[in-house]
Structure 1
């Protein structure tokens, strides 16, 4: 806050510390002096105390609250809590006092050499007749003002959410192009180029030169960030400079630079000053590095380490592929063995069906032969009816009339018996039996064929089901459901948590890819 311009006739604070200069006071003071001269001539003499009191009252009455800037010197901080010091500039100094009830509200600890601004009352210490200022408030100038501006901007941007972790973008693990926004002549650019060339010479480095200090630096840095986006080639941007004072680094505490970094869709790394320096750019950027060299170290992968990792990955991939091929070959041999066994079972069943068919045909032939023999036997046992009638006639003649009535009845019975025999003879005809047996044979053949086809289809379905079940319990199918096969560094499968110790390195085989993990602890199932 600028000092209040002194009114006409007001004291400007340029008097020497040990001298009192009342020239320039108002006409009232001159009248008072003339009155004192008159009284002196009248032998009305003032004491020193009276003179000092009147001067103090006159100063306090005629001067309002003034604003004075200067440098603290001769600072004294007694146990009473009051502050006593001198405020000086290039030409003059003035004694000052700040009482305990005001000093207790200071936001900083005054020291000799601090540039401050006072709101003070003009007064005079009667005991020594010293002209002095009674300070009501004291504010830092220079670094203190910068720090207040820094805290105000930091609070403002934080409230807007520019510091939130949710908006931070991840850095690419292997950047192809690294953009540097810094001074082309500073030590920071040389340090970063040396680190990038040592660690990852494959990356292309694009410099967007800018001034990093002074009043033109904020706009220049913001334009460099905009140019990097127009160029659209960089995978990440390192924004920074080497160490310096707060004033030297102030461009990176500017709101224009902070908003340019926040608006960047390219991941940004802030590398300003030394490790102890913290700027607004550090809070807004996606990543903060303590120094420019550390920024180059952290954004660039170690080429030698990557080559070593690729060699190890190649060996691991070869081993895993070889192991997978061996397991697949074993599974194929097992399936081939099971297929051969199923094929042999089908051959045996086919042979068994052929035997059943042959036994059925032999049984039919044997049945036909037995029926033919039985028919022949029945034909031999059957006598001709004429012979029977002649015999009956002879019996009738012998029995004479006594049997005449019974002959008729007997004839009927014999006729019925004859009809029955004829009917049985017709039923026992070989042609009809052969026809029925042929139909039964055809039916049995059809049933046998259907049974064989049904069993073949059932066996085929069962084979497909067993193949599906075999594929289901395959370790590879298990891996696709989110599981992993964990092996120790010797290649043995880990089945129990006691098989590994804290710090061991294990390998987790996934459905796609391999994870190399380090055991940080073990725990039994709850």
Structure 2
């Protein structure tokens, strides 16, 4: 039945018409699920989320206000298939039909799974999972920090293991909520508080098992960044062996359970005693081997020095032999030099003018030039000559030439 008869000629203003449409839509379409592809996704500074939900034939504008948007576990993206729950209404200022979304989930994959994969990809690209930044655990930590709930079985199990394995270790517990609203922020603050206190050498961060939703606080970015910034090594111990969280990827070491984390943190006293005894035995054997080696060296030296007088006599005989050999070599060398000298003297004597004089010859020198006269042509009557004999010299003047 029409709201108004044609004949009544009753008119509506645009605002009145918009209000009627708005009321009708909100009455009839106040709670429904809509599936479609996300496009034109944007988040202005106000924090409200605006996008278009469409299929191959139609589209509708959609808005998710900031209060509902903060509960999203994943980041919507253009092209993503989404399931949206909400109501349809009219934005009267522009006359636009809009879907006001209260709940939004990715179609096909769960919202938590998608959020996990998105954050894992983001932090991995930033280097928070890099193997080269993983730190070794201290061998015997003086104090161990634990960030977990005071009321869970996980804390009791860890304290029991730490007590049984090495009683002397000091444990500092920072109690936090491990699930529910605000749990992630508490865990991050607990990690920062313990790490910044300077009181612990390492930390265990974790809780017992549960559903994906129960463990979700350990998949939050704020917890991951707190672990990454911790100044001491961190063991993550969340849930059971099959459970993996973002905290596991960021931590320096991952334990499959809280109990395993406590076992990883400190050695068993018996194992430590056995290892110390083994090291002691190896050290003793090494010392004994070194002592035997040194003893052998000293014994050899003692044998060489056992009879110094005998060694002295042997060295004296050796010295006498060397002296005699040296004298013989010197004597032979002198004899050879004497022979060479005598032979050289004979040759020199044979070439000497004195040897000619010894055979009865004489040497005549024209004076005063002292030139040797070799031919009578070189002298004249009246020249003064000096005649040298083997023994003595005379001066004579030429009176006659033949």
TM-score for the superposition, normalised by structure 1: 0.42
SS at match of 2:157: helix
Tell me the residue number matched to 2:24: 9
Deviation at 1:280, TM superposition (A): 0.8
Distance change (3 Å), C-alpha of 1:355 and 1:203 = same
Deviation at 1:342, TM superposition (A): 7.3
Q: Note if 1:299 corresponds to 2:265.
A: yes
* Structural mapping, 1:426-505, within 5 Å: none
Distance change (3 Å), C-alpha of 1:173 and 1:197 = same
Deviation at 1:352, TM superposition (A): 6.0
Structure 1 ranges of 4+ moved more than 6 A? 105-108, 354-358
SS at match of 1:277: coil
CA contact (8 A) 2:141 2:201 kept: yes
Tell me the residue number matched to 2:151: 185
Decide which of 196, 204, 210 is 2:162's aligned counterpart: 196
CA contact (8 A) 2:196 2:231 kept: no
Gaps of 5+ in 2: 1-20, 32-57, 64-78, 89-103, 325-402
Tell me the residue number matched to 1:218: 184
Tell me the residue number matched to 1:117: 84
SS at match of 2:144: strand
Distance change (3 Å), C-alpha of 1:254 and 1:14 = closer
> How many matched pairs?
249
* Structural mapping, 1:388-403, within 5 Å: none
Decide which of 192, 195, 202 is 1:236's aligned counterpart: 202
* Structural mapping, 1:317-356, within 5 Å: 317-340=283-306, 344-350=310-316
Deviation at 1:259, TM superposition (A): 0.6
Tell me the residue number matched to 2:10: none
Deviation at 1:353, TM superposition (A): 5.1
CA contact (8 A) 2:195 2:232 kept: yes
CA contact (8 A) 2:188 2:222 kept: yes
Q: Note if 1:283 corresponds to 2:299.
A: no
* Structural mapping, 1:48-447, within 5 Å: 65=60, 116-117=83-84, 139-140=105-106, 144-340=110-306, 344-350=310-316
Q: Distance in 2 between matches of 1:356 and 1:296?
A: 82
Q: Distance in 1 between matches of 2:322 and 2:223?
A: 97
Deviation at 1:182, TM superposition (A): 0.7
Q: Distance in 2 between matches of 1:233 and 1:66?
A: 55
CA contact (8 A) 1:270 1:287 kept: yes
Deviation at 1:339, TM superposition (A): 3.8
Q: Distance in 2 between matches of 1:328 and 1:217?
A: 67
CA contact (8 A) 2:145 2:203 kept: yes
Deviation at 1:341, TM superposition (A): 6.7
Q: Distance in 1 between matches of 2:262 and 2:109?
A: 31
CA deviations 1:289-336 (Å, max 9, x no partner) are: 111011111121121011112223323322332232122111110122
SS at match of 1:9: helix
Q: Distance in 1 between matches of 2:119 and 2:309?
A: 84
Give the root-mean-square deviation of aligned CA atoms.
Answer: 3.7
CA deviations 1:444-485 (Å, max 9, x no partner) are: xxxxxxxxxxxxxxxxxxxxxxxxxxxxxxxxxxxxxxxxxx
CA contact (8 A) 1:242 1:292 kept: yes
Gaps of 5+ in 1: 1-5, 16-62, 69-104, 109-115, 122-137, 359-526
Q: Distance in 1 between matches of 2:177 and 2:105?
A: 32
CA contact (8 A) 2:141 2:169 kept: yes
Q: Distance in 2 between matches of 1:326 and 1:286?
A: 47
Q: Select the structure with the greater relative contact order (CA < 8 A; seq sep ≥ 6).
A: 2
Deviation at 1:345, TM superposition (A): 2.8
CA contact (8 A) 1:67 1:118 kept: no
CA contact (8 A) 2:148 2:177 kept: yes
Deviation at 1:343, TM superposition (A): 6.7
CA contact (8 A) 1:67 1:117 kept: no
Q: Distance in 1 between matches of 2:309 and 2:190?
A: 77
Deviation at 1:166, TM superposition (A): 0.9
Distance change (3 Å), C-alpha of 1:215 and 1:340 = same
CA deviations 1:33-80 (Å, max 9, x no partner) are: xxxxxxxxxxxxxxxxxxxxxxxxxxxxxx964879xxxxxxxxxxxx
Deviation at 1:171, TM superposition (A): 1.2
Q: Distance in 2 between matches of 1:333 and 1:224?
A: 67
Deviation at 1:184, TM superposition (A): 1.4
